[in-house]
Structure 1
Amino acid sequence: MSVQFDTLPNGFRVVTEPMEGLESASIGIWVTAGGRHETEAQNGIAHFLEHMAFKGTTRRSALEIAEAIEDVGGYINAYTSREVTAYYARVLRADVALALDVISDIVLNPVFDPAEIEIERGVILQEIGQALDTPDDVVFDWLQEAAFPDQPMGRTILGPEARVKGFSRDDLAGFVQSHYGPERMILAAAGAVDHDEIMRLAEVAFGGLTRGTDAKVLPAGFASGERREIRNGLEQVHFTLGLESPSYRDDDIYVAQVYGNALGGGMSSRLFQEVREKRGLCYSIFAQTGAYSDTGMTTIYAGTSAEQIGDLADITVAELRRATEDMSEPEVARARVQMKAGLLMGLESPSSRAERLARLVAIWNRVPPLAETVAKIDAVTVDAVCDFAANLIMPGKAAMAVYGPADRAPHLDAIRDRLAG
């Protein structure tokens, strides 16, 4: 089986990958319109729009949308990120056409009923409140804000409460008009699918759309910033440190991801062993490397007590510095294998595979062969990881957010000075 990729005359892209032996399929529309495509006044509207897609169309009520998929045993959902909004479903082979019909309906024909807008506004405000009550979630939003201040990339996906309270039907319709052109949509399907049939259905549903205008996206600029929220009623200090990393389009992304795995990607990683296993300073600690179209961030997170936050920060900085000199071949080999295993295991799921197809098309406008990706992972060397680690901790490229009883937490300037040595 192989990936097939086609583009309709209006720019709408279709990518499919049949998976032999499966009786189910995952199919969805990925729109390259997320949080970073909003103006400051629109912050949160992409997410609001995602919610409203399920609240009724010109053809179906909210209940009928749910029933159409669930009556055949399927599943439908959506999410908003900083760069895309996705609407997707998982169904059996016989119901692929139905799933695409429902998804195209909610994307193309939302009615934005004023009564439903008010109901969903309340739901989203509850979601914001829930996030604010979850320290190990909200601290990542604050880290993003510290790393990308005063720019779309640094704003929350959910948006501030005051903005969400003010969005109108015209605001929602205007965002769709500006950002939901066919050239910004990708239909991805994997599993029990037939490419020619998907293309026929896509032509019927999306072929008549008129290409939109290119929306300008402000380039992201990583900055060194700090956000510190003292909350003495919490049991733990939630500590996050962000370091500027490569974008998806940079070949160094593979080095960055191998480094992130070796530093804090699992139980055998340096941070887990040094901070938790040897010293018992925390329950949870990890490092991960995230990427966007034009930038990225390696993030370290840990939660610890007010008394131990200083020690935890000191050891974290020491490990960041040590990684520039003595990363070993067994560590790098283990991290490479972890990356490949994660990639290949994910490909056993049609949902993961469809999402991967959409993401690669959004980045490259093609789907690189799996062997090409694996070869780039295998090509990462110890020297490359050590060089990356050294560049990562250069002065001026760190951001930090802490939340909780954090009076004893070091400030970012002190951490940067120690990183610089």
Structure 2
Amino acid sequence: MRLPTSSLVTQTTVLVESFGAKGDGITDDTKAFQDAWSKVCSSKTPAILLISQKSYRLKPITFAGPCQSSITFKIQGKLIASPNRFDWDPKNLRVWIVFTWVQNLTVTGGGIIDGNGNVWWKISCKINKSLALIFNNCKNLTVQNLKIINSPSTHVTFDRSQNVVASRLIISSPSWTPNTDGIHVTATTTILIYGSSIQNGDDCIAMVNGANNVRINSIVCGPGNGISIGSLGGKGSTARVSNVIVDKIYFNGTKNGVRIKTWQGGNGYVNNIVFKNIAMHDVRNPLIIDQFYCNSPSTCAAQKSAVAISNVHYTNIKGTSATPVAIRFNCSASVPCRGIELKDINLQGSKGIVTTSACQNVNWSKRGVVLPPPCQSS
């Protein structure tokens, strides 16, 4: 009888303590982690980098490939960002923990990644854009069973990666913290995000240029800004997002539910998008498309070009809206939204509010019962 492949594979286990890590939460353990990574990355057999149940203080660190074999980065303890802002390179404040050019990587273990964001929040996250955990140019990546908290800005970023599974994540920061996106997906194709809870001060999940073949399933979101595609097309840029399915989501007290946001003057497209089986509780803007997004202190003028939005399907979405306008589709006159379908929608107002819909320059259709009825002109 042929034995399972896993029983024939020898794994190398490397402990960070073997390279001098103290794990007391005070000593800088960055070099020990770097040396331990060099060991597992050079291993010709599958390797485990084991981080035991202690607290490890780290400066910004990059775990770079390519590596010789598959790696499991097993966090059982707690990784804490250095509280000293001067440990960051002033020319690159965007990174803390980065995995780059690594294939066949699993990051797991049930531990905690603490971005120590309170060091930065008091000087405004709108200025600092430091990110807690970045996966760049990774392929065949699994990130699971972790708690990621208190990022200075975005908690987890998947950038230019392929074949990603992110699951059983608890992502948390205070609701008042600016720019603390939960998960940010950019230039990444074939990614599954499921079975996670996200509470933060910005988008629970944001998909921007190059996000393709994205599946989001079984997420609890709130507080936060909801799940967004965008913003896209800023400063006249071209953006493309396609083949996204958002399924089985519970939004609790979020600013938005499911949102598509693009700047005037951009180019490209958003198409083949499905939002389905969604429950909302006291969401301020449950369904929103905004082709006039303008996160700027000055007025953003309407322009002739815009990111085209088409084939967007909303199915089985129910719950309560905290504002009267539960459905808002604000589309461009020059590049109208097309193929917008609403099916089995029931969004009642909380606290006796009567809900309505508002839209402009949108080609829509409905199936089944849709409440509030679409769509009055704004």
**Band of TM-score, shorter chain:** under 0.3
TM-score normalized by structure 2?
0.26
Pick 1 or 2: higher relative contact order, CA cutoff 8 A, min separation 6: 1
TM-score normalized by structure 1?
0.24
Instruction: Answer 1 or 2: which has greater helix percent.
Output: 1
Instruction: Answer 1 or 2: which has greater strand percent.
Output: 2
